[in-house]
Amino acid sequence: MTSASQTTDRRSRSAVRAAEGILSTLDDGVWRIQIHRTSKRNALTMTMFSALAESLALAEANDAVRAITLSGLGPNFCAGHDLSAFDNWPQGAGDPVPRFLHALADVRKPLLIGVHGSAAGIGVTMLLHADWVVATPDAVMKLPFVDLGIAPEAGGSLLLARAIGALRARRVLLGGEAFTGQQAHDWGLVSELSPANELATCLQRRALALAAKDPKGYGRIKALLVPAGEVRARIDEEIDLINTCVAERRALQTG
């Protein structure tokens, strides 16, 4: 006999799987989210931001989920925000990008991210919300915000300096300098290095280890380490600044 919660579980997973470019499955207590837009290096569209927000919210609300992993299919992790999607800015609190960023900041369950190939923009700043990051040594990461004339997002302007130090944060945010998975590991942004062919296995193994922890204790300690209110406030500040940057660019183009 199928319980109501099992039925809800299946419907939730089916709904998320149907979303463009985002695949979500529950496997042995681990909610696996995979970005699947390989033709565009897994760059995120507005539909994908919405699907990611929904998937994280479903995972956080489902007691059967004990840990969450996020990774990219194909040769790359995530090329960031699809530049064509900037046509959908400005963004307000209920729009796809802020919804995803708030959902990311609100996760209290173990969140693990696997990085390989290239990661850019939000494909890097989202790592700041992970409890464990596994990357290949040759992964290439870049924060191109200064070259695009926009602000960083996901609380990156607050959290990056805390993670890797103020001087390195200036180097990669203001200088736009690319760095490798090996460098990110040396700096403290990446928890563990793995060969590309073992990345998925390593991510799942770490997820199962964290899934075995006491969920209430885990969530409470995580909330103390990174207060969601502080991060949410910075996310909103960054969104407002990006809105301003986009509006100024449009004014120049149309003027």
**Could you tell me which of 111, 103, 104, 108 has the C-alpha nearest to residue 132?**
111
Q: How far is Cα 179 from Cα 6, in angstroms, rounded to an integer?
A: 43
pLDDT tens sequence across 196-215: 999 999 999 999 999 999 99
Is 129 contained in some domain?
yes
Q: How far is Cα 182 from Cα 93, in angstroms, rounded to an integer?
A: 36
Q: How far is Cα 168 from Cα 170, in angstroms, rounded to an integer?
A: 5
Is 202 contained in some domain?
no
CA 65 to chain centre: 18
Is 201 contained in some domain?
no
Is 122 contained in some domain?
yes
Which amino acid, 210? Answer: L
Is 132 contained in some domain?
yes
Is 173 contained in some domain?
yes
Neighbours of 37 (CB within 10 A): 21
Residue 253 has pLDDT above 80, yes or no: no
Give the mean model confidence (pLDDT) for residues 144-150.
92
Both tokens assigned to 74: 């194909």
CA distances from 134 to 42, 89, 104, 227 (A): 18, 32, 18, 23
Give the mean model confidence (pLDDT) for residues 112-129.
98
Q: Record the pTM.
A: 0.89
Determine what percent of the chain is predicted with pLDDT higher than 70: 92
Let me know: does 35 contact 72? Beta carbons within 8 Å: yes
- Please enumerate in sequence order all residues whose Cβ is within 8 A of that of 154, keeping only pairs 6 or more positions apart, or say none: 101, 104, 122, 125, 126, 128, 129, 235, 238
Q: What average pLDDT does the structure give for the chain?
A: 90
| Total domain count, the chain | 1
Residue 2 has pLDDT above 50, yes or no: no
- Please enumerate in sequence order all residues whose Cβ is within 8 A of that of 87, keeping only pairs 6 or more positions apart, or say none: none
Ranges of beta strands (E only) in the chain are: 22-27, 30-35, 67-72, 111-115, 118-120, 132-135, 140-142, 179-180, 192-193
DSSP secondary structure code for residue 119 in this structure: E
Which residues does residue 78 pair with via DSSP β-bridges, in sequence order? 119
Is 62 contained in some domain?
yes
- Give me the pLDDT at residue 3, please: 43
Domain with 83, as residue range(s), is 4-196+215-254
- Give me the pLDDT at residue 133, please: 99
**CATH number of the structural domain spanning residue 154:** 3.90.226.10
Is 205 contained in some domain?
no
**Could you tell me which of 10, 83, 89, 80 has the C-alpha nearest to residue 52?**
80
Any idea what the Cα angle at residue 106 is, between residues 104 and 107, rounded to 5°?
70
Which amino acid, 232? Answer: R
Strand, helix or coil at 40? helix
CA distances from 55 to 145, 184, 185, 197 (A): 26, 27, 28, 26
